[in-house]
Amino acid sequence: MNVTSEQLQGPLLAQDNTNNEPPVFAISDLCNLLETYIEPEQVKEVYRAYIFSEQAHQGQKRISGEPYIYHPLAVARILAEMRMDTNSIIAALLHDVIEDTPTAKDQLAKEFNEEVAELVDGVSKLTQVKFESRAEAQAENFRKMMLAMVRDIRVILIKLADRLHNMRTLGVMKAVKRRRISRETLEIYVPIAYRLGMNNIRLELEELGFKALYPMRYRILEQAVKKARGHRKEILERIRTTIEERLHQEGIEAPVVGREKHLYSIYEKMRTKHVSFSEVFDVYAFRILVDRPDTCYRVLGMVHNLYKPVPGKFKDYIAIPKANGYQSLHTVLFGPYGVPIEVQIRTEDMNKVANVGIAAHWVYKTGEDSGSQSPAQKWVRSLLEMQKNAGDSVEFLENVKIDLFPDEVYVFTPRGEIMTLPRGATMVDFAYAVHTDLGNSCVAGKIDRRLAPLRTELMNGQTVEIISAPGARPNPVWLDFVVSAKARSNIRHFLKQLKHGEAVDLGRRMLDKALASFSTNLDTVAKERMEEVLEALKLKSVDELLEQISLGNRVPMLMARHLVEGMQKSTDDHAKQSAFREVLSRYTPGWMKGHSRDNERPLAIRGTEGTVVTYAKCCRPIPGDPILGFISAGRGIVIHVQNCKNTKDYENKPDKWIDVQWEHDVKGVFPVDIRVDTANRRGVLATVAAVIADQSSNIENVNIEERDGRHSSMKFTISVEDRKHLANIIRQVRNIDNVLKITRSK
């Protein structure tokens, strides 16, 4: 059967997908397995935990109708097969008692120990908290589990074993729930298992998830594999025998095992690369297990001598391990009859790490710590920083998803240290991977000693050097191209803090300006009155009030009135309302009333307010222009040039306008549009651009319109410091021979 990638793109099927139920293991089977690697006294403690769990779940049944205790017993069995420690097995037996029974965490700590109680609590969902949506509940439970995992990695190992048994018994679920759980498994738990190097669990979760989510596609591929397998046996055996004979000639005794490709792996290659089944399945895969790392390289040379290697298909994961600690040599060879042969060469220890991942590094078994962390443990630690910078649980979940990349790129620091980054990473991702402070202050970078833009995508083997500046800070544009979760979360965190500080500062100036109309200021407002206003508005702090004012969510004059009202209790309501109307009348911008407002001081715009002050694109105000401010909810103050046509739409909303003026010493650069009419001559665009650049201005955008065969109009968006800077640029451009006219566009 030759299956095409298009056949696997059909709709989901809602028909029954009952899995073959795995055999139920008795507690005696678990104890017999545990006796092979832990002490008899510890086995007795596990048996006591089993009795406790059975009594706690007494009367509870699974959807299949079997007693609930079968599930925790199966989870404990999975961990025992990984040779996990006693507390892990006990926690597996008890992992649902907090969530599904009246048993409390304190009771577990008293009955067993604090460590077991923490493990069980880490796996338990937040059942007592009400969430607005399923997505929020899932994200918050995921955050709780991941943070517990940071404290103790065994939490996620128990959770993965729990999810594996649930997937094995998923067939009794309704189709909708089956698909939801399968999709969650493939999107979250499979990548986590990969990141922790737990290949055996990852592969089984992939197969079970694929089978439950796409039952028809699974059956089509399964039938195709069974049919194609018969044609492969002879070639597989011939290649395996040839490799074994050559190993024997070289004096190397090592098993050569043919590897069967998994259905989900075949499906993903067909789907992503748009190839047919035969193109994927016609690859013959072998694994060679040797005794020492140096033997791996000897065997590599031997197989390259036996069959010609395919250029560019060799990967040395021994010298440069994957992010999850995986080590092996990978090569692709031209085999007999032109068939490609994939060969993996690794030691027995490397094979163990590849199969069980972080569990192979387990330090709780012996009570000894080697002092060094595996790559998977380092990733777990990085989750803490991700959690600190995330605004909420949903953002944290998205950041973790982003970080679960299956592909990596390996680059070098100037000192020759290897850095592992996600595929598609840029120099900004590299800077944050080195250190958060370096990422926050980077301004440029070098790749192999040559300057390159920060958004340049990094490639394997490059040497990257970051150039930083003390006063530099993250640019919001970076969020458009960074790919690592650490970079994204740190940039967002910095911008949130920056925006908050800028908003508070601007809000204070706006409120002080409004209070000046009542001959007072924020510092003289009584603390008691401020607390009353905050309580009435349900705000937590003065800073929160000031931030809302700057973002346009609160009108400063109304807030000033609330504050002053409490300080003038003797004034009756009618008098207060009249006074406020009179003040509001004076607050209306003078340009709208046709009279001067020399007695009131406009709000000064410094150019450093950041995101809480925006400059209208319709008129592009720059320092030196007469300006007006419009308070827009969520955007803060929007600045327009006074004669901007768009301001006429707001003449009937005087409470939204605020008088503003430029600070005497404005800092920063501002975009402005200019139009240059030129004669059609070769090189005129380059000449104009060079003159603009010579005046220390950056060209942000350019559009060219050909008016007729002889003339063109160039529309530039350039950055300037003020009107004087713009006038100098216009003067210099006007002196160019082929320039006919230059004007500022509004």
Where in the sequence numbering do the catalytic residues fall?
Answer: 99-100
What is the rounded CA–CA span in Å between residue 548 and residue 542?
10
Do the Cβ atoms of 718 and 729 come closer than 8 Å?
A: yes
Do the Cβ atoms of 355 and 289 come closer than 8 Å?
A: no
What is the rounded CA–CA span in Å between residue 36 and residue 84?
12
189: which DSSP letter? I
Do the Cβ atoms of 182 and 170 come closer than 8 Å?
A: yes
Do the Cβ atoms of 677 and 716 come closer than 8 Å?
A: no
What is the rounded CA–CA span in Å between residue 157 and residue 88?
9
User: What residues pair up with 309 in beta bridges, in sequence order?
Assistant: 333
Q: What are phi and psi of 745, to 5 degrees?
A: -90, 140
CA angle 77, 349, 384 (to 5 degrees): 70
What is the rounded CA–CA span in Å between residue 530 and residue 535?
9
Do the Cβ atoms of 170 and 218 come closer than 8 Å?
A: no
What is the rounded CA–CA span in Å between residue 243 and residue 343?
11
CA angle 97, 101, 102 (to 5 degrees): 115
684-708 exposure pattern, b = at least 16 Cβ within 10 A, e = fewer = bbebbbebbeebebeeeeeeeeeee
251: which DSSP letter? T
- Residue 188, judged by CB atoms within 10 A of its CB (0-12, 13-18, 19+), counts as middle
Q: Give the Cβ contact number of residue 618 at 10 Å.
A: 13
User: Measured between alpha carbons, how far is residue 122 from residues 142, 170, 353, 383, 572 in Å?
Assistant: 10, 23, 25, 15, 60
Q: What are phi and psi of 76, to 5 degrees?
A: -60, -35
User: What residues pair up with 708 in beta bridges, in sequence order?
Assistant: none
- Residue 497, judged by CB atoms within 10 A of its CB (0-12, 13-18, 19+), counts as exposed
Alpha helices for 317-404 (secondary structure H): 348-356, 375-389, 393-403
Three-class SS state of 214? coil
Three-class SS state of 442? strand
Provide, for the chain, the percentages of residues in helix, strand and coil under a 3-state DSSP scheme, each rounded to the nearest 5.
Answer: 50, 15, 30
Do the Cβ atoms of 332 and 310 come closer than 8 Å?
A: yes
19: which DSSP letter? P
Do the Cβ atoms of 194 and 406 come closer than 8 Å?
A: yes
What is the rounded CA–CA span in Å between residue 355 and residue 675?
65
Do the Cβ atoms of 101 and 59 come closer than 8 Å?
A: no
Q: Helix 154-168 crosses helix 86-93 at what angle (to 10 degrees)?
A: 50
Do the Cβ atoms of 487 and 478 come closer than 8 Å?
A: yes
What is the rounded CA–CA span in Å between residue 195 and residue 190?
9
What is the rounded CA–CA span in Å between residue 424 and residue 421?
8
Nearby residues of 192 by Cβ (< 8 Å), 6 or more positions away: 156, 160, 404
CA angle 131, 134, 139 (to 5 degrees): 80
